[in-house]
Amino acid sequence: MPEKFIVTGGAGFIGANIVRTLNARGCEDVLVADRLDCEAKRRNLEELRFRDYLDKDDFRKAFRSDTIDPVSTVFHMGACSSTTETDESYLTDNNFLYTRELCEWCLKHGIRFIYASSAATYGDGSLGYSDSDEITPRLQPLNLYGRSKQMFDLWALERGILDRVVGLKYFNVYGPREDHKGDMRSVVSKAYDQVMDTGEIRLFKSYHPQYADGEQERDFVYVADAVAVTLFFHDRPEVSGLFNCGTGRARTWLDLAHAVFAAMNRSPRIRMIEMPAAIRDRYQYHTRADMTKLRGAGYEEPFTAIEDGVRQYIRTYLARCEPAGNAK
C-alpha cells in the first residue's frame, strides 16, 4: 500500500525540503500543513507535489477532532523558529502545546512521529552537546525559543515515549527554501545578499577572550543532509529517541564567509561589526553536535563540508533567485 505523510511547516524551510525529497522518491500523497503568511512560502509550494494543504489552525482543529485519516509518518517541522521572539505564551502554545497534541494524536493511531527540536536547547554549551537522555533535563537554553523546544523534549522524556517518537536537534541548517525566514535566515543567505549589495560580508565581533573576531564556531549542516537524517528515521521505524542533527564538526564564521566568496568567485572582503547589546549575554560562541548516538543508531552517510554545501546552495539556488532579503 502506498505510504501517506503529513508534513507540518511543509511550506517552510526543512519541511519543504522534506516534501521535495518525498516527491523524488515518488511519493505525492502528502498533506502539507502551514501558514502561508508570505510570498516566499507560496513559491516553495509551487515546486512541490502534494495531495492537500491545510492552514495550520484548520489542521490543528482537524486532528483535535480526529477527522484526519491516519498516515504512515508525521514530520512535525511547523514551529516559530525565531530566537528573538519575546511572546512566551505564543511560543508555549505554538511550539510546545501544539507539538504535544499532535504527538498524542499520532500515538493514539500508531503513527510514526518525527519532530523538530533544536540545538538551541543546549544553551551556552557548558554541559556539552550530548543528546544523552541523562543530560537533557539539565540543559538551560538561553532564549525563549530554546526553552519552548526543551519543554517538549522534557515532556516526552518524562512520559517515557522517546522509545516511540523521534526528536531531532537541528544545528545550524542552511540551504534552499529558507527565503521566508527573514532575519532568521542562515548567514549564508544573508552573506550572499550582502556581497551582491556591497561587495563585503559583515560578521559580529567577539566579546569572549577565547575567540578572536570571526572565530566563533558553529556546526553548519546542509539542509539536504538534515533531510536525509530525518528520513532515515522514517525508514527505520525500529529506531527512536532524541538525536542531534549536525555534522560533528565546528567551523568558524570566517570559514563560512570565505566559502561564500569562493562560491561567488569574489575576493574576500570581511568587516567586523559590533554585536547588538541585547544578544551579547545570550550568544553561543561554540556548537558542535555529538554524533555518537546517531552513528550508533546506524546512520552512516557522510555530511557535506561547508565549502561544498555553500557552493551548491549559491550556484544552483541563490544565484538564480531574487535576493532572499527581498522576499517578504
Q: Please indicate, yes or no, if residue 144 is contained in any of the structural domains.
A: yes
Phi, psi of 170, rounded to the nearest 5 degrees? -70, 135
Active-site residue, 222 included: no
| 202 plus 100 within the same structural domain | no
Half-sphere exposure of 252 (CA within 13 A, CB side): 13
Range of the domain at 284: 183-218+249-288+304-326
pTM for the full predicted model: 0.94
- CATH code, 212: 3.90.25.10
Least confident of 71-75, 86-90, 204-208, 228-232: 86-90
The answer to whether the beta carbons of residues 272 and 216 sit under 8 Å apart is no
Domain annotation covers residue 261: yes
- Percent of the chain with pLDDT strictly greater than 70: 98
pLDDT tens-digit profile of 47-92? 899 999 999 999 999 999 999 998 999 999 999 888 878 889 999 9
Catalytic-role residue among 122, 145, 222, 313: 145
In this structure, are 163 and 267 located in the same domain?
no
Do 203 and 240 fall into the same domain?
A: no
Task: Look up 4 and say whether it is catalytic.
Answer: no
In a domain, 297, yes or no: no
Cα–Cα distance measured from residue 151 to residue 148, given in angstroms and rounded to the nearest whole number: 5
Q: Which of 114, 228, 215 is nearest to 173 (CA)?
A: 228
Residues in a beta bridge with 166 = 114, 241
Is the domain of 278 the same as that of 187?
yes
List, in sequence order, every residue forming a beta bridge with 32; answer none if it has no partner.
7, 53
Q: Choose the catalytic residue: 181, 190, 222, 313.
A: 181
Q: Which amino acid is at 293?
A: K
Residues 20 and 64 both lie in one domain: yes
Same domain, 64 and 190: no
Percent of the chain clearing pLDDT 90 (strictly above): 89
Q: Are residues 83 and 107 in the same domain?
A: yes
Is residue 45 located within the same domain as residue 146? Answer: yes
